[in-house]
Amino acid sequence: MTNRSEKLKTLKVAEEKASDLFQRIENNRIVQPGNSEKETSALIYELAKSEFGVSKYWHKKIVRTGKNTVLPYDFDPEDLFIQEDDILWIDLGPVFEDMEADFGRTYVLGNDPEKLRIRSCVENAWNRCRDYYFSKESITGKELFDFAKKLASEDGYLFGSEIAGHIIDEFPHKKNHSISKINYICEENFLNLKETFEGKERFWILEIHFVNAEKKFGSFFEQLLIESESV
C-alpha cells in the first residue's frame, strides 16, 4: 500500500473500529469497581476477540487505575483494583486486518469534580494540539510537544510523559520504520512532522497525558492525528 490517501483511509477505518471497541467496553460495563486492572484487561481482550476478531496488538494492553494513572507507558506497575469513585484510563493498540490502531480514553467512576476536570482538560488539550498542528505548514516534534506541555501547565497540571505521540502504520510499523526520536512527538525531534523520513510517509498518533500537581491521579487521551472534519 503506497498511496498516501489510501493508507490514510485504511488507518481511519482501523481507528473507527477501535472507537467502536471502546464503545462496546462502555456498553458492556466492563469497567467495574472491585475488578483488578489485569481482570479488566482480560475482559477487554475477550470482547475484542469475540466481537471484532482482534487477536494481534502492536503494543501491550494498558489498563491503569488510581495512582497508576500517573505513570506513562514504559512502566509496569503493580496490579491495582478499581475503587468506587475512581479514575482509570485504557490504552489499546489493536491490529485490524494488518493495520494498526492506537486509542486511549479516561473513565471516571462517580462525580469527583477534580477527576472530571482533568478528563475534560485532557480531551480539550488534544483538540487544541490537533488544531495547532494543522494550522502550521511546518511543525517539528519539539514544537508540538512543547505546546502540549504548555497546555498542561495552563490548566494547572504536569505533562505525564516524555512523548506526545508517535507514528502509526501497517503492522508491524516498528519493523518497517526505524526506532528513532524522529518518529516521536518529543523534545528531541527537530524535524518537520509533515515531512517524510528515510523516504517514508509518516502518519501520527497524538497522545495527551496530564497528571495532577500532587501526582495522585492522571488522565489520558489518544487517537489518530487527523483534521476534525475528516473524522
pLDDT tens-digit readout, 149-194: 999 999 999 999 999 999 999 887 665 666 789 999 999 999 999 9
In a domain, 122, yes or no: yes
pLDDT higher than 60, residue 137:
yes
CA angle at 166 for the pair 141 and 25, rounded to the nearest 5°: 135
Predicted pLDDT of residue 171: 82
Mean pLDDT, the chain, integer = 94
Which tens digits make up the pLDDT trace of 46-74? 999 999 999 999 899 999 999 999 999 99
Q: Is residue 80 part of a domain?
A: yes
- Half-sphere exposure in the Cβ direction for 189 (13 Å, CA): 28
Report the candidate in 117, 81, 98 with the shortest Cα–Cα distance to residue 212.
Answer: 117
Containing domain of residue 89, as a range? 4-224
Domain presence at residue 229? no
In-domain check, residue 73: yes
For residue 40, which phi and psi values (nearest 5 degrees)? Answer: -65, -40
The total number of structural domains that make up the chain: 1
Q: Is residue 218 part of a domain?
A: yes
Phi-psi region of 156 (alpha: psi -120 to 50; beta: other; left: phi over 0): left
With residue 88 as reference, give the H or E element that holds it.
strand 87-92
Q: Determine contact, residues 90/116, Cβ cutoff 8 Å.
A: no
pLDDT reading at 230 higher than 60:
no
Give me the amino acid identity at 158: L
Question: What is the per-residue pLDDT for 65?
Answer: 98
Kindly state the cell numbers that stand for 231. 473524522
> What are the φ and ψ backbone dihedral angles of 170, each rounded to 5 degrees?
-65, 150
Distance of CA 226 to the CA centre of its chain: 14
Q: How confident is the model over 122-131, as a mean pLDDT?
A: 99
- Residue 1 binned pLDDT confidence (cut-offs 50, 70, 90): very low
The confidence score (pLDDT) of residue 178 equals 62
Query: So what's the pLDDT on residue 19?
Result: 98
Tell me, yes or no, whether 93 lies in a domain. yes
State yes or no: pLDDT of 82 exceeds 60: yes
What CATH number should be reported for the domain holding residue 211? 3.90.230.10
In the numeric block, which cell numbers belong to residue 68?
497508576
In whole angstroms, how far apart are CA 4 and each of 14, 167, 177, 205, 219?
15, 14, 16, 16, 32
C-alpha distances in Å from residue 189, one per residue of 74, 146, 165, 194: 19, 11, 11, 12
Q: Residue 172's pLDDT is what?
A: 74
> Which residue type, as a one-letter code, is found at position 50?
S
Residue 173, pLDDT score: 63
- The pLDDT confidence band at residue 199, using thresholds 50, 70 and 90, is confident
- Other CB atoms closer than 10 Å to residue 142's CB: what's the count? 17
Q: Which of 114, 111, 187 is closest to 146 using CA atoms?
A: 187
Question: Would you say residue 231 lies in a domain?
Answer: no
In a domain, 102, yes or no: yes
